[in-house]
Amino acid sequence: MQILADENIPFVQEAFGTLGTVRTRPGRQITRADLASTDVLLVRSVTPVNAALLEGTPVRFVGSATIGTDHVDLDYLAQRGIAFAHAPGSNAESVVEYVLAALYVLARRHDRPLRGQTVGIVGCGNIGGRLAQRVPALGAAVLCCDPPKAEQAEREGRPHAYRPLAEVLAAADVVTVHVPFTRTGPHPTYHLLNAETLRQMPAQAWLLNTSRGAVVDNPALRAAREAGHLGGVVLDVWEGEPEPDVALLRRVDLATPHIAGYSYDGKVAGTRMLYDAVTAHFGLEASWTAEAELAAGLEDRLALTPPAADRPEGDPEVDWMHALIRQMYDIEADDARMRSLADQPAGDRAATFTALRKHYPRRRTFALHTLPGAAVPPAYRTAVAEGLRVRLV
């Protein structure tokens, strides 16, 4: 079997090398010519998979090591009889942990505790649904918006708590977006948050986008920030990737290069899901296991140190939780690396953005970390154990 893969898929040689010959290419540089003798194509979100790429090639299977599928023309694959698999849920925990880390950075910078706030979650699938389960443990209320899920519940006669977008935007202190990217259909998400919908948010509300860049109208968001609207903004995804709007980058609180889902555990899980799909589709014997790769990296498991107060004037819980999270994931370091892009010549920014993703440091899931339970203040125990899912020992 001839396999071509995005070079950023972890362990692709180790896993798929058991099934055939594996070649790798940068995802943005994969062309039709590369597929002239390819049976299986494995991509991430940066490779558009459509007729322009596949027509006239022998590709029989396409796999995407991602949750989203907006970069894949699924109708074309179906018409051609090309099998497809992706990795829904593989990096959901990673994105949830990114959002939690970002929330405590915002809370610390703006001297605003999370406890007592209302978090609006737009899109309640693999990621948003998990986030909705975790946020209440931090002392915040949740409002969920997911029109497709609401309509399904109503068709089936089931009660639900999903609220309309306008209601969530108006009522939430924090809005975090976790929708697939679509331009058509009953609920398109292209520029879901635009000049009009951004105005519906309270002036000091926080906005986080980890879904796709074009779900938020970037020029409209930049204009809102320039006008002093919105108290905090976190962007992991950008219109025009890998060349984000530098003026917008300078006006957000946290800027990262589309790495919210880039935990080591999530990426390995994505590879495992594609490997299982390929072996099942072609009736091949599976001989590679992700468990071995995950176990080999357990030196990253940390025994966390109980934080000490470092700001007499700050909110004690916010500072304590921020310091604890930073031992597991320093999102501000990601932000600092991303900001270096703004000072580079325009022609170098795309390469820098791509390199930041390719050489992303290894980040492990919070659930691998331990903390002495006796060292956790009783008032924070639920937030640590159920919100962060750190293991108390």
> Residue 31, exposed/middle/buried by CB under 10 A (0-12, 13-18, 19+)?
exposed
Report the distance separating Cα 349 and Cα 341, nearest Å. Answer: 6
Q: Which of 191, 212, 222, 369 is catalytic?
A: 212
Q: Domain locations in the chain?
A: 2-86+263-296, 92-261+329-366
Q: pLDDT at position 207, please?
A: 98
CATH topology match: 2-86+263-296 vs 92-261+329-366: yes
The stretch 219-242 carries a mean pLDDT of 97
* CATH class of residue range 2-86+263-296: alpha beta
The structure tokens listed for 316 are 């004690």
Q: pLDDT at position 258, please?
A: 97
- Give the residue from 166, 171, 177, 121 showing the smallest Cα distance to 145: 121
- Give the residue from 241, 242, 249 showing the smallest Cα distance to 221: 249
154 labelled catalytic: no
- How do residues 358-377 score in pLDDT, each as one tens digit? 999 999 999 999 999 999 99
Confidence of residue 291 (pLDDT cuts 50, 70, 90): confident
Q: At 263, is the secondary structure helix, strand, or coil? A: coil
> Residue 157, exposed/middle/buried by CB under 10 A (0-12, 13-18, 19+)?
exposed
Confidence of residue 294 (pLDDT cuts 50, 70, 90): confident
> Over 90: is that where the pLDDT of 355 sits?
yes
The stretch 336-348 carries a mean pLDDT of 94
Q: pLDDT at position 300, please?
A: 63
If one compares 390 and 298, the residue with the highest pLDDT of the two is: 390
Angle at 221 between CA 330 and CA 261, to 5 degrees: 35
- Give the residue from 386, 364, 360, 358 showing the smallest Cα distance to 139: 386
Q: What residues contact 281, with CB distance under 8 A and at least 6 apart?
A: 61, 83, 85
243 labelled catalytic: no
Report the distance separating Cα 101 and Cα 110, nearest Å. Answer: 14
> Over 80: is that where the pLDDT of 292 sits?
no
Q: pLDDT at position 391, please?
A: 95
Q: pLDDT at position 301, please?
A: 65
Q: pLDDT at position 298, please?
A: 64
Q: pLDDT at position 67, please?
A: 87
Q: pLDDT at position 85, please?
A: 98
- How do residues 39-61 score in pLDDT, each as one tens digit? 999 999 999 999 999 999 999 99
Q: Which of 258, 272, 322, 389 is catalytic?
A: 258
pTM of the model: 0.92
- How do residues 62-116 score in pLDDT, each as one tens digit? 999 998 899 999 999 999 999 999 999 999 999 999 999 999 999 999 999 999 9
> Over 80: is that where the pLDDT of 385 sits?
yes
Confidence of residue 2 (pLDDT cuts 50, 70, 90): very high
The stretch 387-392 carries a mean pLDDT of 97
- Looking up tokens 């000091």 gives 204
Confidence of residue 290 (pLDDT cuts 50, 70, 90): confident
- For helices 331-339 and 92-109, the axis angle rounded to 10 degrees is 80
CATH assignment, 92-261+329-366 = 3.40.50.720
Q: pLDDT at position 296, please?
A: 65
Q: Which of 93, 97, 239, 241 is catalytic?
A: 241
Preceding omega of 345 cis (within 30 degrees of 0): no
- How do residues 299-318 score in pLDDT, each as one tens digit? 666 889 999 877 888 899 99
Kind and range of the H or E element at 221?
Answer: helix 218-226
> Residue 303, exposed/middle/buried by CB under 10 A (0-12, 13-18, 19+)?
exposed
Comparing 63-67, 215-219, 249-253, the range with the smallest average pLDDT is 63-67
212 labelled catalytic: yes
Report the distance separating Cα 291 and Cα 380, nearest Å. Answer: 32
Mean pLDDT over each residue of the chain, to the nearest integer: 95
Contact 128, 106 (CB under 8 A): no
Q: pLDDT at position 309, please?
A: 72
